[in-house]
Amino acid sequence: VNKRRPYHHGDLRQALLTASVDLIRELGRSEFTLREVARRAGVSHAAPYRHFRDKSDLLAAVAEEGFERLTASIRIAADRGRQPFERLQNAGVAYVDFALKQPEHFSVMFSVDLRQDHASARVAAERCFAELVTLVAACRDERPGNGETTLTSARIAWSQVHGVAELALRGQLPFSSKKELRRFAILATETIGRGLGLNDRAPRS
């Protein structure tokens, strides 16, 4: 603990977010307490109330930050691909990657009830999904697809990668290394792309 820290912290808000993520990583969502977060940020337990209305407001901010990072990860991954489906698939794999690399963010993103009160977190989530829709739409510009609307196709694809991410996080998929899991994610996205008629590569049959 740095004793020379001045009375005013500088960027306590961000420090609290970072500390929250660390805390959740170490102890899990259910052990998350405001007082411990404050302790870790080297600040009195009342200080967070300068920056967040209450505990759930802080968690909503963590979720919002998480969605922003996820959106960025997806975008970067997609941009590494050339063909539309390759771009979509990269995004899907990035989604799973994100869940495993930042499980603490991921679990908060989908556990806080964003629909009430915390509008900015909800907006961040919607922006993230919009990214996925764009990638699906690009695939369908090239191929006719299989009859589902773009939106429906996107939701099905999202469900697929979300399921892989969730099960992997809960240890329900028997992969010991991230590499193995990544390979599985590639298989799963390929499969769903084939099912949706979005995959521009030849089916393997």
Binding mask 139-158 for a second copy (x = CB under 8 A): -----x-xxx---x--xx-x
For 94, counting Cβ atoms within 10 Å of its Cβ (0-12 exposed, 13-18 middle, 19+ buried), the class is buried
The one among 2, 3, 4, 8 contacting DNA by CB under 7 A: 8
Q: Which does 44 bind (CB under 5 to 8 A by kind): a second copy, DNA, none?
A: DNA
- At position 159, the amino acid (one-letter code) is S
Spatial neighbors of 67 by CB under 8 A, at least 6 apart, are 109, 121, 124, 125, 127, 128
The one among 17, 94, 125, 132 contacting a second copy by CB under 8 A: 125
CB of 148 to a second copy, least distance (A): 7
Alpha carbon distance 1, 7 (integer Å): 14
Cα distances (angstroms) measured from residue 70 to each of 74, 92, 132: 6, 11, 11
Contact 190, 89 (CB under 8 A): yes
Q: Which does 191 bind (CB under 5 to 8 A by kind): a second copy, DNA, none?
A: a second copy
Binding mask 42-81 for DNA (x = CB under 7 A): -xxxxx-xxx--xx--------------------------
The phi and psi torsions of 186 (rounded to 5 degrees) equal -65, -45
How many whole angstroms from its chain centre is CA 51?
24
∠ at Cα 155 (150, 159), nearest 5°?
Answer: 150
- The reply on whether position 115 binds a second copy by CB under 8 A is yes
The one among 21, 34, 60, 70 contacting DNA by CB under 7 A: 34
53-82 binders of a second copy (CB under 8 A): none
Span near a second copy by CB under 8 A; candidates 4-12, 15-23, 68-76, 110-118:
110-118
The one among 110, 117, 120, 150 contacting a second copy by CB under 8 A: 110
∠ at Cα 183 (188, 27), nearest 5°?
Answer: 95
Contact set with a second copy (CB under 8 A): 29-30, 110-111, 113, 115, 125, 144, 146-148, 152, 155-156, 158-167, 170-173, 184, 187-188, 190-197, 203-205
